[in-house]
Amino acid sequence: MAVKFRCFLPCRELLPYIRYYWILNTNENLDVMTFPIGYPQLIFHRRTRFYIPELKSEQARFSISGQVNFPARIQSSGDVETIVVVFYPHAIGTVFNIPLSSFYNEEIDGYSLGDKTLNALADDVLNAEDSTEAIKMIEECLLSRLAESEIYNFKRVGVSLTQLFSDKSISVERLAQISCLSRKQFDRVFFKAVGMKPKEYSSVVRFQKSLWLMQNGNRDFADIAYSCGYADQSHFIRECRRYSGTTPVELLKTQPVYSDLFASPF
């Protein structure tokens, strides 16, 4: 079986919270470098699990992946059927009423949370007849959790994210003003909802924007630095090394460049 990668949009009611679902099927061995993407994820491994060398561990069969600030490889020995729910940055806490800050630089075994509803969902998804049935189960569970949840600070943080995505050089102080919060309140609310402090998350957004520009053929690093809100080209190169483990030149030589945050998987 060749690598088969499929993406699906959520139902209309979940569109504000879930960006998309993706499903990976393959019998081939995988060894892929991944970068901080800015989106938290629920991950269900129905067969072989991914091994993360940087964490020296396998992902759990059902795991929650929070915001990370380091590159990492995912490896597998084949026979993969993985389903991933990609949430918008500030949405997972709204649906599950948990602070995403608890998952900073972590991939947590979802069963360890002791949430009976989530545990039952994981059991159903992992034992579903096929991935189509599993997606339906996920949607039903998320819709029921959404009905029970409080939409606390969801809109405030959402407005600040919209501004950040359109203006990569916007200050945290300005984001706080847009959210009608003090800087200290905004830092606390943003960290709880998104899982990363505003300043650090802004740097992930800049990096992802640089990937999007390179993905679309831009090789002028000075222009990329300016367009993404970096202080200068050297700043861009340092941040690229921080989040990808290598320089932009080497990155372009070694693998296809793709921005999870700004490119459409469809």
Domain stop point among 115, 133, 148: 148
Q: Could you tell me if residue 259 is left (phi over 0), alpha (psi between -120 and 50 degrees) or otherwise beta?
A: beta
pLDDT-derived band at 94 (thresholds 50, 70, 90) equals confident
pTM attached to this predicted model: 0.94
Same domain, 92 and 180: no
Task: Report pLDDT for 150.
Answer: 59
User: What is the model's pLDDT at position 71?
Assistant: 95
Q: Are residues 191 and 210 in the same domain?
A: no
Residues 117 and 162 in one domain: no
Q: Tell whether the model's pLDDT for residue 1 goes beyond 60.
A: no
Number of C-beta neighbours around residue 188 at 10 A: 15
Q: What does each C-alpha distance from 193 to 17, 158, 250 come to in angstroms?
A: 12, 10, 34
Residues 189 and 110 in one domain: no
Which residues form the domain of 23? Answer: 4-148
Q: Is residue 108 domain-shared with residue 218, that is, in the same domain?
A: no
* Residues 66 and 95 both lie in one domain: yes
Rounded to an integer, what distance in angstroms lies between the CA atom of residue 191 and that of residue 194? 5
Q: SS3 string of 67-125? A: CCCCCEEEEECCCEEEEEEEECCCCHHHHHCCCHHHHCCCEEEHHHHCCHHHHHHHHHH
- What tens digit of pLDDT does each residue of 18-34 get? 999 999 999 999 999 99
> Which strands sit side by side in the sheet containing 51-52, from one edge to the other?
30-34, 72-76, 51-52, 57-58
Structural domains in the chain (count): 3
Range name among 141-145, 234-238, 258-262 with the lowest pLDDT average: 141-145
**pLDDT, position 153:** 79
DSSP-derived secondary structure letter, 60: P
